[in-house]
């Protein structure tokens, strides 16, 4: 967590305990890490274990690698894959193919095999762009079936006789220092371990980056993701490509280690087996994937060794998967976390028993934390100038406060929708509506139920295609632009049915909204470049600012699902603010809020407009709220523009009153009288 600078300034005034010498724990951690590394690398030679155990470790690495590829695709991006075995198979058979045809041996064939698997996965991903959920499951199932029946039966790929072979050999010259004899399973263990570590390194770097958050956003709500400027198509294909690459690496190393491969190794049953491993591991956790890989490999060995258990491995594996699904959905990852927490509790209890002073220290620490918390509340900036003064980043994209003008026509247009017509089949939902929002205004769009407000809204945002009409955003023609490109022009939005990313914390939800502000690319995230780190820090600071400003500290690290409705509305507004968009569209922001909450929201909108100069367009049912905050209003009924004007004009407009009450006001009175 990055703290606000002003917090660190305050902290100096709070009496603090002398800092503990830093060298102790860090040196200890380094030593433990080095020791663990040495052990993981050297145990096949140093420990008196049979070679079969090393073979098991090789299998564990292979399982874990494919499980990691599934964690990325299914766990993070939400794209279920029943064809992972096919990607592995492509990696294996292409390795043999390039050796057979072009005589390219092991280390050189690695990038070719990985690229081939990634390519096949991206091709499947292109289909996946159009389908989701169960249809995607069917698509990948059909793909696995086709790979088994067609691709892996083709003699050009697999080779004559239905089996591909690859002479296992050596890397480098024998009897020189740089020589690896891959016939030795211990040497091969190091190779596949390196492959697994490579996969884990890349995947874990991505998880904590802009790319990873875009993945989670796609899983959480594609509609919200595009509205934050995330190109869903791009990130889905990227996920398929990466997942295919990791699975292909596993297949490549598998055939390098085994020397041969047959199509039956990569059929649909194998894909289901890999999915089982990933699910047992927890599906979203990398360490869970590794643990599950080790577990399944160990089970294999045990059920093979113990005669009484022969033939029960598949039954137990299936039972394990069912148990995890029904009884323990978090999988091994969750049990690992629980165990970790327990161990920590035990360790701290032991420590406090060993030294009585430690408890006092811990208590003091919490007091410091408490007072820090208090001071941060007290020092929360009341106006935006304080934020700007101390941070200087918030307003880079946001214009000055609204200038005082006599006539709104003097203001520069932010949104200009002209002659919008939306037809669904024979129904004309929006018929020739034009509206304009000018810089620094709060514009309201009201109308009875079914008037076409949300349809018009979506046409402006790009979620549906208008039959006719044009949309200009900040003077640029956006009519033909996809949603994410409109977001890049500087449009933020909230949704009538809240579209937050349910599995993420409030903080991470907001962090996902820094997508457009972060110019770094996927490769920089993969290797954690200096630039990527800098941008990451800036993004976190920005989110912290918004959280402070909207008073969301208390819920910042809580998962979104389960928070009260009113808070969710504010979080969604905060997310739109984090994007830095100078123009924010709100779809019924007050629906579901009580009167006090609605009043608070109205005040907040006015403050944001006055202090930050943000322009708002809001759809609202609550006429009182709209008339109290807006500068200008549009009223639509039955898809047509009924009236426009200042709130005062609108309140006096006979047509509007009729539309809301069903008939002219006078007539109502007459009927009541009769």
What letter would DSSP give residue 552? Answer: -
Contact of 320 with 280, CB cutoff 8 Å: yes
Query: What is the C-alpha to C-alpha distance for residues 20 and 246, in angstroms, rounded to an integer?
Result: 43
Alpha-carbon distance of 487 to 226, in angstroms, equals 8
| Residues within window 449-478 making contact with another protein, judged by CB under 8 A | 463
For another protein, the closer CB: 225 or 633: 225
The CA-atom distances, in angstroms, between 126 and each of 172, 238, 387, 662 are 40, 11, 44, 50
Q: Does 506 contact another protein by CB under 8 A? A: no
The two three-digit tokens of residue 13, written as one number: 């005034």
Nearer to another protein, 236 or 542 (CB): 236
6 binds another protein (CB under 8 A): no
Strand extents, DSSP E, 575-651? 583-587, 615-619, 632-637, 640-645
- Is the Cβ of residue 436 or residue 478 nearer to another protein in the bound state? 478
CB closer to another protein out of 252 and 569? 569
Residue 133 touching another protein (CB under 8 A): yes
For position 36 contacting another protein by CB under 8 A, the verdict is: no
Nearer to another protein, 275 or 471 (CB): 275
Segment near another protein (CB under 8 A); pick from 135-143, 294-302, 438-446, 629-637: 135-143
Q: Which of 95, 211, 267, 514 binds another protein (CB under 8 A)?
A: 267
Q: Does 416 bind another protein (CB under 8 A)?
A: no
**Contact with another protein (CB under 8 A): which of 29, 305, 312, 531?**
312
**Cβ(619)–Cβ(457) under 8 Å?**
yes
Residue 563: CB minimum distance to another protein, A: 9
660: left (phi over 0), alpha (psi -120 to 50) or beta: alpha
Residue 47 corresponds to which tokens in the numbers above?
């420990």
What number of chain residues touch another protein (CB under 8 A)? 64
Check residue 180 and report its DSSP letter.
Answer: E
CA-closest candidate to residue 458, choices 619, 597, 645 = 619
d(CA 407, CA 388): 30
Among 46, 153, 344, 348, binds another protein (CB under 8 A): 153
Enumerate residues 175-194 that contact another protein by CB under 8 A.
none
Contact 539, 4 (CB under 8 A): no
Per-residue contact flags (x/-) with another protein for residues 603 to 642, judged by CB under 8 A: ----------------------------------------
The CA distance from 359 to 331, in Å, is: 34
Residues in 67-86 at the binding interface with another protein, rule: CB under 8 A: 74, 78, 80, 82
d(CA 216, CA 213): 5
Position among 48, 50, 311, 425 found at the interface with another protein (CB under 8 A): 311
Piece of the chain touching another protein by CB under 8 A; list 299-307, 341-349, 428-436, 500-508: 500-508
> What's the Rg (C-alpha) of the chain?
30
> How far is the C-alpha of 586 from the C-alpha of 630, rounded, in Å?
13
Counting contacts by CB under 8 A, is residue 499 touching another protein? Answer: yes
Token readout for 136 is: 């995607």
Residue 349 touching another protein (CB under 8 A): no
Q: Is 135 in the site for another protein (CB under 8 A)?
A: yes
In the region spanning residues 192 to 231, those forming contacts with another protein, defined by CB under 8 A, are 220-224, 226
Q: Which stretch, 139-147, 298-306, 401-409, 624-632, contacts another protein (CB under 8 A)?
A: 139-147
3-state secondary structure of 622: coil
Closest to another protein by CB, 321 or 332: 321
* Secondary structure of residue 429 in the 3-state scheme: strand
Is residue 146 involved in binding another protein (CB under 8 A)? yes
Beta carbon nearer to another protein, 325 or 360: 325
Phi-psi region of 622 (alpha: psi -120 to 50; beta: other; left: phi over 0): beta
Q: Which is nearer to another protein, 106 or 268 (CB)?
A: 268
Using the minimum distance from each CB to another protein, give the nearer residue, 397 or 497.
497
Other Cβ atoms closer than 10 A to 456: 27
Q: Are 639 and 451 in contact (CB under 8 A)?
A: yes
Q: Are 109 and 100 in contact (CB under 8 A)?
A: no
Q: Point out which residues bind another protein (CB under 8 A).
A: 74, 78, 80, 82, 127, 129-135, 137-139, 141-143, 145-146, 148-151, 153-154, 220-224, 226, 232, 267-269, 272-273, 275-276, 279, 311-312, 314-315, 317-319, 321-322, 325-326, 329, 463, 483, 497-502, 560-561, 568
């Amino acid at each position: 967590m990055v703290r606000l600078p002003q917090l660190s300034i305050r902290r100096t005034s709070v009496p603090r305990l002398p800092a503990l010498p830093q060298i102790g724990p860090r040196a200890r951690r380094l030593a433990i890490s080095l020791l663990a590394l040495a052990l993981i690398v050297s145990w096949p030679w140093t420990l008196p274990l049979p070679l079969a155990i090393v073979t098991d470790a090789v299998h564990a690495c292979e399982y874990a690698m494919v499980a990691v590829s599934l964690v990325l695709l299914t766990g993070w991006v939400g794209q279920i894959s029943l064809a992972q075995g096919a990607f592995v198979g492509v990696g294996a058979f292409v390795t043999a193919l390039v050796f057979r045809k072009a005589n390219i041996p092991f280390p050189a064939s690695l990038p070719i095999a990985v690229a081939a698997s990634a390519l096949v996965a991206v091709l499947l991903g292109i289909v996946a762009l159009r389908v989701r959920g169960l249809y995607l499951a069917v698509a990948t199932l059909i793909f696995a079936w086709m790979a088994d029946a067609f691709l892996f039966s083709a003699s050009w790929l697999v080779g004559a006789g239905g089996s591909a072979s690859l002479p296992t050999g050596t890397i480098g010259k024998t009897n020189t220092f740089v020589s690896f004899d891959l016939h030795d399973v211990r040497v091969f263990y190091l190779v596949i371990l390196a492959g697994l570590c490579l996969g884990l390194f890349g995947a874990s770097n991505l998880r904590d980056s802009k790319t990873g958050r875009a993945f989670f956003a796609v899983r959480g709500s594609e509609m919200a993701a595009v509205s934050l400027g995330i190109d869903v198509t791009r990130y889905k294909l990227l996920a398929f490509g990466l997942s295919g690459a990791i699975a292909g690496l596993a297949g490549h190393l598998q055939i390098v280690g085994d020397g041969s491969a047959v199509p039956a190794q990569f059929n649909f049953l194998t894909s289901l087996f890999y999915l089982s491993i990933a699910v047992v591991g927890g599906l979203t956790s990398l360490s869970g994937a590794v643990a599950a890989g080790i577990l399944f490999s160990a089970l294999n060995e045990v059920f093979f060794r113990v005669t009484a258990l022969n033939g029960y491995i598949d039954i137990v594996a299936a039972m394990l998967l069912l148990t995890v699904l029904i009884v323990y959905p978090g999988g091994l990852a969750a049990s690992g976390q629980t165990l970790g927490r327990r161990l920590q509790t035990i360790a701290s209890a032991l420590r406090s028993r060993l030294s009585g002073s430690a408890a006092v220290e811990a208590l003091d620490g919490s007091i410091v934390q408490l007072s820090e918390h208090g001071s941060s509340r007290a020092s929360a900036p009341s106006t935006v100038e304080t934020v700007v003064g101390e941070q200087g980043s918030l307003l880079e994209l946001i214009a000055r406060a609204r200038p005082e003008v006599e006539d709104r026509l003097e203001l520069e247009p932010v949104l200009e929708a002209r002659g919008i017509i939306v037809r669904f089949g024979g129904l004309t939902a929006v018929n020739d509506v034009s509206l304009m929002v000018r810089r620094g205004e709060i514009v309201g769009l009201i109308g009875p139920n079914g008037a076409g407000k949300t349809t018009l809204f979506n046409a402006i945002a790009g979620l549906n295609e208008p039959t006719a009409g044009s949309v200009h955003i900040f003077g640029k023609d956006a009519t033909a632009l996809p949603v994410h490109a409109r977001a890049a022009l500087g449009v933020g939005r909230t949704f009538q049915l809240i579209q937050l990313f349910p599995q993420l914390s409030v903080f991470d939800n907001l962090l996902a909204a820094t997508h457009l502000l972060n110019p770094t690319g996927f490769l920089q995230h993969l290797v954690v470049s200096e630039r990527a780190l800098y941008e990451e820090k800036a993004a976190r600071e920005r989110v912290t600012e918004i959280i402070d400003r909207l008073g969301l500290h208390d819920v910042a690290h809580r998962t979104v699902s389960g928070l009260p409705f009113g808070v969710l509305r504010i979080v969604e507004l905060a997310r739109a603010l984090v994007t830095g968009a100078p123009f924010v569209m709100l779809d019924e922001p007050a629906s579901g809020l009580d009167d006090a909450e609605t009043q608070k929201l109205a005040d907040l909108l006015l403050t944001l407009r006055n202090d930050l100069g943000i322009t708002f367009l809001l759809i609202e049912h609550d006429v009182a709220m709209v008339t109290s905050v807006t500068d200008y209003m549009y009223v639509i009924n039955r898809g047509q523009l009924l009236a426009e004007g200042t709130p005062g004009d609108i309140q006096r407009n006979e047509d509007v009153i009729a539309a809301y009450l069903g008939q002219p006001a006078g007539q109502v009175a007459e009927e009541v009288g009769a």
